């Protein structure tokens, strides 16, 4: 399944790294361990792709599960890491589906078009040097404008039933480590905290996107470029964060 199972030398090497990490909690070692097992996270994420969620979102969730597993794995107990990590990662993916389903039934062809448009939009943005219009996207993807409208709306079709999705403090530090210092500074803006303590409860990447869009005034394309993800992904993350903030503020208003 993962590299360690087929390569005895690499396996021994990784075992030593796990032991070193358990003792030192050295972030550089953790990075190596996470990278070495990213294949496992991807393998498991792909098993959930027939449920209508984009693979990049699932990869994010699976990576979070992998980080948790690396942090909690005790090499002294003699278990294979993949044996230990699989239920943790699958659990994270299942929780994702439990918390965030498609709010409305999105037909498969629309989901597929939504995923395909991510690449089309990125290419057009690069070619045009600006965000494309819907007619431009339709022409490039050889579908109708109505289909494009329907497909981009599909990315907003998240529903939040639980605040649980905002994650624990533990997830925050794991993800925050992946962000650069400059961006870390941005998301700590006192401006934002004063306006909404709810934003502080969002995961770091969502928090940063909210900050860049609504406080710094960057466009979605600019944020996509800066973070190295697609505009469609930024759009989905924004829609999800806003739904989550709304859910949270509604719950806070309850007596």
Partner 1 sequence: MSDGEVRLAVPAQPGYLRMTRLLAAGVASRVGFTLDEVDDLRIAIDELCFALVGPGGRDGTITVRYTFIDGGLVVEGEGHFADGGHDTPLLSPLSMQILGAVADECTLEPGIEGPTFRLVKRRREE
The site for partner 1 (CB under 8 A) is made up of: 103-104, 121, 130-135, 137, 145-146, 148-150, 152-153, 156-157, 195-196, 198-199, 213-215, 217, 219-221, 231, 235, 238-239, 242, 245-246, 249-250
Closest to partner 1 by CB, 44 or 248: 248
> What residues pair up with 102 in beta bridges, in sequence order?
158
Closest to partner 1 by CB, 19 or 131: 131
Closest separation in Å from C-beta 192 to partner 1: 9
Handedness of CA 97, 98, 100, 101 (dihedral sign): positive
Closest to partner 1 by CB, 31 or 131: 131
Closest separation in Å from C-beta 235 to partner 1: 5
The Cβ of residue 89 has, within 10 Å, a number of other Cβ atoms equal to 25
Q: Long-range contacts for 177-181 (Cβ within 8 Å, ≥24 apart)?
A: 177/27, 178/204, 179/204, 179/205, 179/208
Q: Are 88 and 68 in contact (CB under 8 A)?
A: yes
Closest to partner 1 by CB, 94 or 131: 131
HSE of 128, CA atoms in CB hemisphere, 13 A: 14
Closest separation in Å from C-beta 197 to partner 1: 10
Closest to partner 1 by CB, 30 or 240: 240
Q: What is the dihedral of CA 26, 30, 36, 40, to 10 degrees?
A: 160
Closest separation in Å from C-beta 28 to partner 1: 38
Closest separation in Å from C-beta 47 to partner 1: 29
């Amino acid at each position: 399944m993962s590299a360690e199972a087929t390569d005895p030398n690499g396996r021994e090497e990784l075992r030593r790294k796990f032991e070193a990490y358990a003792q030192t909690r050295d972030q550089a070692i953790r990075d190596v361990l996470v990278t070495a097992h990213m294949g496992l996270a991807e393998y498991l994420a792909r098993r959930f792709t027939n449920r209508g969620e984009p693979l990049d979102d699932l990869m994010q969730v699976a990576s979070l599960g992998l980080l948790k597993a690396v942090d909690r794995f005790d090499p002294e107990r003699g278990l294979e890491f993949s044996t230990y990590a699989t239920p943790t990662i699958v659990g994270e993916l299942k929780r994702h589906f439990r918390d965030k389903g498609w709010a409305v039934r999105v037909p498969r062809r629309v989901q597929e078009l939504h995923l395909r448009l991510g690449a089309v939009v990125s290419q057009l943005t690069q070619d045009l040097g600006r965000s494309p219009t819907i007619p431009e996207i339709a022409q490039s993807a050889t579908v109708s404008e109505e289909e494009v409208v329907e497909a981009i709306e599909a990315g907003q079709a998240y529903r939040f039933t639980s605040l649980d999705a905002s994650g624990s403090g533990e997830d925050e530090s794991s993800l925050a480590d992946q962000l650069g210092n400059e961006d870390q500074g941005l998301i700590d803006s006192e401006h934002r905290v004063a306006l909404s303590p709810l934003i502080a409860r969002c995961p770091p990447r969502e928090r940063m996107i909210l900050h860049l869009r609504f406080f710094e005034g960057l466009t979605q394309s600019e944020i996509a470029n800066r973070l190295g993800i697609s505009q469609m992904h930024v759009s989905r993350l924004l829609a999800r964060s806003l739904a989550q903030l709304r859910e949270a503020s509604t719950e806070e208003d309850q007596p």
